[in-house]
A and B are shown apart, each in its own frame.
Chain A
Amino acid sequence: MSSDTAAARPLTEAPTVDLSTVLARGPRPPRPSAWSASLTFGWRAVLKIKHVPEQLFDVTAFPIIMVLMFTYLFGGALAGSPGEYIQFLLPGIMVTSIVMITMYTGVGINTDIEKGVFDRFRTLPIWRPAALVGAIFGDLLRYVLSSIVILSVGLVLGYRPEGGPMGVVAGVALLIVFAFAFSWIWTMFGLLLRSEKSVMGVSMLVLMPLTFLSNVYVEPSTMPGWLQACVEVNPVTRVVSAVRTLMSGGWDTGEITWVLAASAVLVVVFGSLTMRLYNRR
């Protein structure tokens, strides 16, 4: 062994590695709490946004296009003018945009898990869901950013929320709670499906009907009866109603309770499915 060391030595001229000082075997710090581990993963997500800011393009440009497109496309026909239509449309288009961008959670998890770094996370003695919860915490930041962008565009186009700042904040907060819960559907698909492309494909299949067959663009009363039934059971409709009421200064306890309960169910069902897949991989 010693002769081998001597033979190898001339090769290591430059940075010599001296580990004598770093290989201490002191007492280990206690294991972090579930909350602190999740926050640390959230910090990782923020760092990733800092290093790859292009990824914010999806959550800013897309909503702007949505707002502009639908306001001017339908405004004249549906409400007489774009300015009047946006009073009705903005809360709905905000819900649509945020629900749509939750799919990037799944795309992100899918690309992340392909890389070796998740192997390391999964060998750490920490609360198991922390890596995924933290990733969604990072996504919440994007949802907030996206909401701010949409609101700003709306205000420029003439949207005037009757609920004032308080109503708007309450509406956005409820939407973010729902988006957090809804994201767990995508973490599940992110772990279940093989490629980023298939995650995208499935998410469009789910999201298109979910966002269009709702009360976002027109009043359901204008639709045929069978379609109204579909729209009524669509969770997006309920979220839109609740957020719309909050932002226009009202308070609909029934709808708010429904949204919070649905969020809890989503987290329990898709959270546990996600964790099953995560542990199996």
Chain B
Amino acid sequence: MGDGQSGPAIETSGLIKAFGDTKAVDGLDLTVPVGTVYGVLGPNGAGKTTAVRMLATLLRPDGGHARVFGHDVVREADAVRSRVSLTGQYASVDEDLTGSENLILLGRLLGHRKPAARSRADELLAAFGLSEAAGRQVKKYSGGMRRRIDIAASILNTPDLLFLDEPTTGLDPRSRSQVWEIIRAVVANGTTVLLTTQYLDEADRLAARIAVIDHGRVIAEGTPGQLKSSVGAGAVHVRLRDSNRREEAARLLGDMLHSTVTLDADPVGLTARTQSQGSETGATEQASEALGALARAGILVDDFSFGQPSLDEVFLALTDRPAEDPSDQLAEEMA
């Protein structure tokens, strides 16, 4: 915005960062257009946070290049810093200070005089529904309030580029949708947002484009629509009454939906992807027909859900293996 450049907000090529023997980021190529939300989707340990920290000038890359609004993140770090804000995965505010003190502190550091910093803090606290909590220490805030004060701190001077590193992880649904609303408002105002997330539905709701990353590199990139059609329109999750009939149910669902069926770690659970492309009927119709077929075959279903593919399913489709999340490994060990 405003500097006459028409280039992308972020451009990286072959970006590398290694910690010891592990390459957290291993040849990352990204191009993030100005003025939109760009989603970076990946499991824990995929290198999302490391990539964001390099782009926000907090970490020095071991190889490759990264430019933010045309400025090199290493050689022109100060120029980058004047245009970006970061809301990290962990509260990027001082937990010992009150909400109001935090915002005044940052206002002062951004060059506002004391009265201006104070009135800007009050304004932001009101807009984020935190006026009542203004005088309380941030460590006493709920998860959702912490996120809001954190984002408020990031837009104290409206940045041209805002990094949001897993802003909704661990939030309750209401706080989550509040954060989504904030992100939409910030983008509508002209700020570019780089959003990392583990949730496909979050990236789908907010992002104009999504990059899926794994082992520090991009394994798929495109609009949410392109990504979902490469993965399947949705997934039917079914929990059976009787685990002995799971194989039979899997065959039936596979025939009905013309797709592969995966057996969940849960001994009575299974998941089938639906395809909307090249099919007369929509994914929901297919799903309900498939459930009907189970009922006709006398297989009792305790519970079912139909939803967008999870990150695991995206990964399964893109890499033929599930996302490597520590909790998944634990589930496998326990199974």
Contact = CB atoms under 8 A, between A and B. Distances in A.
| A contact patch SS | loop
Contacts of B177: 8-9, 11-12
B178 A12 contact: yes
B198 interface: no
A12 B85 CA distance: 26
A206 interface: no
B124 A125 contact: no
A121 B123 CA distance: 22
Contacts of B108: 32, 36, 40, 43
B186 A116 contact: no
Nearest to A279: B60
B88 A119 contact: yes
B112 interface: yes
A8 B127 contact: no
Given A29-B116, A122-B57, A21 B127 contact: yes
Nearest to A122: B58
B181 interface: yes
B141 interface: no
A117 B139 CA distance: 13
A254 interface: no
Residue with the highest number of chain B CB atoms closer than 10 Å, among A21, A115, A120, A124: A120
Contact of B181 (A12, A122, A124): A12
Nearest to A25: B158
Interface stretch (A45-53, A197-205, A235-243): A45-53
**Band of interface residues on A:** 35 or more
Contact of B158 (A16, A23, A119, A124): A23
Interface string A8-32: 1101111111111111110011111
A1 interface: yes
Contacts, number: 142
B92 A120 contact: yes
B15 to A, nearest CB: 18
Nearest to B124: A22
Interface residues of B, number: 58
B56 A125 contact: no
A193 B305 CA distance: 50
B17 to A, nearest CB: 13
A123 interface: yes
B97 A43 contact: no
B123 A30 contact: no
A18 B153 CA distance: 16
Contacts of A280: 60
16 contacts: A8-B181, A11-B177, A19-B155, A19-B185, A22-B127, A24-B158, A28-B111, A29-B112, A47-B97, A47-B105, A51-B96, A116-B93, A117-B93, A119-B86, A120-B93, A280-B60
Interface of B: 1, 53, 56-58, 60, 78, 81-82, 84-86, 88-98, 101, 105-106, 108-113, 116, 123-124, 127-130, 137, 148, 153, 155, 157-158, 173-174, 177-178, 180-182, 184-186, 189-190, 205
Interface of A: 1, 4-5, 8-9, 11-25, 28-32, 36-37, 40-41, 43-44, 47-48, 51-52, 115-117, 119-126, 130, 280-281
